[in-house]
Structure 1
Amino acid sequence: MNKTFKIYAVIFIIVMVILALFEVNKTESTDWRKNFKTTQKSPFGLFVFNNEIKDLFKNKVKRIDQTPYDYYNQNKKKPHNILVIEHEVDGESWNKILDQVSSGSDAMLIISEIPKEISDSIGYYDSQISFEDENVLKLTDTKYLNDFIKLDKFPSGRGFTYIKPNVEVLGKTVEKNNSDQANFIKAKFGKGNIYVHCEPLFITNYYLLQRGNVRYTQDIFSYLDNKETLWFVESNSKASQFFLRFILSNPALKYAWWVLLGGLVLFIFFNAKRKQRIVPIIEPLKNTSVDFVKSIGNLYLQEGDFHDMMAKKAQYFLNKVRMDLLIDTQNLDEEFAKKLHLKTGKPTEMINEAIDLIKKGQDPYAHVMKEDLAKMNKLLDGII
């Protein structure tokens, strides 16, 4: 285990300990997001409504996890109720819903943002009308005047700001500092009716569990006739196929998963630093002069031309004398021998013997043997 790996391991362990301490000491926080999910028990989920809807519709409700477009292409239905709660529906599906309403079905849309297809069909516009922290939802029908619901947590403040004469107002939003605004309307469309409520918070867990609020919800759905109701809900097929669904739904596993990913990112980041490449071994240039000389020597040795080799050795020696010792080599006489003796300090007998062998090598008619070449080479190398 190298030093770098140990450092990474220590950092990872420290991070894990810190996160564990945070997890142990943290307090549970309430999720106030408006998710409108039937499986969520958070304040603004629809878990309670999903369990109680069978009583509201006397067991005549059917949950559909297909889009209205797909469902109605596969099924032919007699007049029925259609329920859509804060659910994104594509344009083709809205057209299918309008076709069903035109044929005698009733549709109740409990959505905060009215789609253009519906708005254009029944002739009204909606917008954000206030930002008050509290408001009260009431119905305009005299038999429901005593039934209301107070929204004290994050009301959307939406309402209908323009309504055509053929649209009936069934409910309104009451605020202290603003005039009343319609929030629940009914529009005749073909043989059926479209009911639109633009404040879906009244059917969430938080408000349904408060005393007295259920009556308001019962009043809203009482406008639908006693017939089969198709509730188009969000499809969970995609979520169930997601392999991390269980991990991300568990807070402890979710934190462990993100820590693991963070550790991998840190590991990749620190190991992405430029590392020293392996230095290639470069062979030094070989001195081929020695090999060349050996090759030439072997060639002469194989040829057996000792005389020529003595001549070249003598020529090389005399050239070196001229260049290094500055002695004239034109005449190899006693004067030359004397100067060479003085310059090199070698014995006179050795110098004279070497001069005799040089002259023998220069004489083209002299008879030279291998021993002469070896002796000459030894003497000349010993002089210089």
Structure 2
Amino acid sequence: MTKPKSINWFPSYATHHKIPFGSYVFNEQLERISNSVTSVNRPPFEFLKDNSINGTYVFFNGGIDFGKPELNQILEWVSNGNTLVVSAANFEKQLLDTLNLKTKSINTIDNFNNVFQVNLVNSRLDNSANYKYDKGSTFYHFDKIDTTQTAVLGFIDKFRGDGESIQDSLVNVIKQPFGGGEIVLNTFPQAFTNYFMLKSPNQNYTAGLLSYIDVEQPIYIDTYYKTGKTFYTSPMYLFLNTKSLKWAYYLVLIGALIYILFEGKRKQRAIPVVKPLRNQTVDFTRTIANMYYENSKHKDISQHKIQHFLEYIRNTLHLSTSEINDSFIINLAARSNNTKEDTKALFNFINNVNTKTQINSKELERLNTLIEQFKSHNQWKTKQ
């Protein structure tokens, strides 16, 4: 009862949630700067049937997939002079094709702390601050944009050196005209979460994003495409989130358990021997892997293989994988009973796989063979 309640890191994005990845703070601050903020808990296809709706429609979530009919209706609404803002880790293919865009995930093999730094382009905004996000897992950026139609608003500048220009950075916020309106896309939805905004000076980054929205016009915040629920359907939620009811519930369970234990000693019948369930973890893992392989998700499988291999190096060979350089290759080769040339060839192949968006089955098999050969030398050394 006295220990602190564990933090809920569920990626909710819901405007009523005060957990780290909720957006309660964003919604509260938005209502302070705009007199017309409306939460929309209906699908856009249904909401936009009202022809009197004008202004800015804001979507942000870990993933958003409208579907073809709904997307067409949204784009028609934008072309009538309105603004669409969509912030998600990745976007559906039809939207990207319509705007002549492509996205790509960021290679994080040299960023094990998962710290990303973001910034905005506009010189009138305060870009001297460092806006950092330290809970990143998979980050995306715009790999291809139509430079004749697209304005770059923000970028991920962790990968930008002192002598490099903005063009060398990874673009993650863009704006593009569409008909009589405009569309703003952002691959960093975490900018609207409580965890990001409450870490000073990150709130200025979110405010900079809002500067591209006309706050004099009505703003519609989507609450339909959200990972977090807007209401709770289970009655147990009330029990388990009220301390007195929760412990009353636990006491009833404990009392029932004590009664069963003492009463069962005199009335218990012979219990037949039941064979324990077979551990099917390996079978389950093999089934999932076959599903990935049959669906030609070779790139996803390769990423899992590489991450497990790096974890093997850290746990078994006790080497840090935060920096892959010549010194690391020499130490790894010596500890694993592999030659320097073989070790270097393996990591060159891993780097080649990471730079590709898609790989074929032969490349995946080659990656698996190199990793298994590398491990087999270390196992032989252990037996010796």
**TM-score if structure 2 supplies the norm length?**
0.56
Instruction: Give SS of 1:184's match.
Output: strand
The answer on whether the counterparts of 2:102 and 2:145 sit within 8 Å (CA) in structure 1 is: yes
Unmatched 5+ stretches in structure 1: 1-22, 277-384
Instruction: Give SS of 2:239's match.
Output: helix
Deviation of the 1:195 alpha carbon: 0.1
The equivalent position to 2:144 in structure 1, one of 158, 162, 175, is 162
Deviation of the 1:126 alpha carbon: 1.3
Deviation of the 1:254 alpha carbon: 6.4
Tell me, in whole angstroms, the C-alpha distance in 2 between the residues paired with 1:114 and 1:255.
Answer: 45
Q: Give 1:121's aligned residue.
A: 98
Tell me, in whole angstroms, the C-alpha distance in 2 between the residues paired with 1:95 and 1:273.
Answer: 67
Deviation of the 1:188 alpha carbon: 1.6
Unmatched 5+ stretches in structure 2: 162-167, 273-384
Q: Give 1:15's aligned residue.
A: none
The equivalent position to 2:58 in structure 1, one of 74, 77, 83, is 83
Tell me, in whole angstroms, the C-alpha distance in 2 between the residues paired with 1:127 and 1:274.
Answer: 62
Instruction: Write out aligned runs for 1:249-288 (5 A).
Output: 249-250=241-242
The answer on whether the counterparts of 2:40 and 2:221 sit within 8 Å (CA) in structure 1 is: yes
Tell me, in whole angstroms, the C-alpha distance in 2 between the residues paired with 1:259 and 1:96.
Answer: 54
Deviation of the 1:249 alpha carbon: 4.1
Q: Give 1:61's aligned residue.
A: 37
1:76 counterpart letter in structure 2: N
Deviation of the 1:81 alpha carbon: 0.7
The answer on whether the counterparts of 2:115 and 2:133 sit within 8 Å (CA) in structure 1 is: yes
Q: Does 1:106 align with 2:87?
A: no
> Deviations along 1:5-51, whole A, 9 cap, x unmatched?
xxxxxxxxxxxxxxxxxx55x44322233221222222221111121
Deviation of the 1:272 alpha carbon: 12
The answer on whether the counterparts of 2:83 and 2:182 sit within 8 Å (CA) in structure 1 is: yes
1:135 counterpart letter in structure 2: F
Instruction: Give SS of 1:39's match.
Output: coil
The answer on whether the counterparts of 1:138 and 1:145 sit within 8 Å (CA) in structure 2 is: no
Deviation of the 1:61 alpha carbon: 1.3
The equivalent position to 2:239 in structure 1, one of 243, 247, 250, is 247
1:144 counterpart letter in structure 2: L
Identity %, equivalent residues:
22
Q: Does 1:28 align with 2:5?
A: yes
Q: Give 1:205's aligned residue.
A: 194
The answer on whether the counterparts of 1:137 and 1:149 sit within 8 Å (CA) in structure 2 is: yes
Tell me, in whole angstroms, the C-alpha distance in 2 between the residues paired with 1:81 and 1:217.
Answer: 16
- Structure ID, larger Rg: 1
Tell me, in whole angstroms, the C-alpha distance in 2 between the residues paired with 1:175 and 1:140.
Answer: 14
Closer/same/farther in 2, CA of residues 123 and 145 from structure 1, 3 Å limit: farther
Tell me, in whole angstroms, the C-alpha distance in 2 between the residues paired with 1:117 and 1:249.
Answer: 42
The answer on whether the counterparts of 1:64 and 1:233 sit within 8 Å (CA) in structure 2 is: yes
2:40 counterpart letter in structure 1: I
Closer/same/farther in 2, CA of residues 149 and 242 from structure 1, 3 Å limit: farther
Instruction: Give SS of 2:118's match.
Output: strand
The answer on whether the counterparts of 1:147 and 1:216 sit within 8 Å (CA) in structure 2 is: no
Instruction: Give SS of 1:90's match.
Output: coil
Instruction: Give SS of 2:54's match.
Output: coil
> Deviations along 1:320-342, whole A, 9 cap, x unmatched?
xxxxxxxxxxxxxxxxxxxxxxx
Closer/same/farther in 2, CA of residues 274 and 32 from structure 1, 3 Å limit: same
Closer/same/farther in 2, CA of residues 241 and 27 from structure 1, 3 Å limit: closer
1:205 counterpart letter in structure 2: N
Closer/same/farther in 2, CA of residues 124 and 258 from structure 1, 3 Å limit: farther
Q: Which moved more, 1:41-50 or 1:190-199?
A: 41-50
Q: Give 1:188's aligned residue.
A: 177
Deviation of the 1:70 alpha carbon: 1.2
The answer on whether the counterparts of 2:159 and 2:169 sit within 8 Å (CA) in structure 1 is: no
The answer on whether the counterparts of 2:133 and 2:196 sit within 8 Å (CA) in structure 1 is: no
Deviation of the 1:211 alpha carbon: 2.6
Tell which has more relative contact order, 1 or 2 (C-alpha 8 A, sep 6+): 2
**TM-score if structure 1 supplies the norm length?**
0.56
1:67 counterpart letter in structure 2: P
Closer/same/farther in 2, CA of residues 102 and 261 from structure 1, 3 Å limit: farther
The answer on whether the counterparts of 1:130 and 1:158 sit within 8 Å (CA) in structure 2 is: no
1:124 counterpart letter in structure 2: L
Q: Give 1:327's aligned residue.
A: none
Deviation of the 1:273 alpha carbon: 8.3
Deviation of the 1:216 alpha carbon: 1.7
> Deviations along 1:300-350, whole A, 9 cap, x unmatched?
xxxxxxxxxxxxxxxxxxxxxxxxxxxxxxxxxxxxxxxxxxxxxxxxxxx
Q: Larger helix proportion, structure 1 or 2?
A: 1
The answer on whether the counterparts of 1:137 and 1:148 sit within 8 Å (CA) in structure 2 is: no
> What root-mean-square deviation, in Å, do the aligned CA atoms of Structure 1 and Structure 2 show?
3.5
2:57 counterpart letter in structure 1: I
Tell me, in whole angstroms, the C-alpha distance in 2 between the residues paired with 1:198 and 1:258.
Answer: 44
Q: Does 1:139 align with 2:120?
A: yes
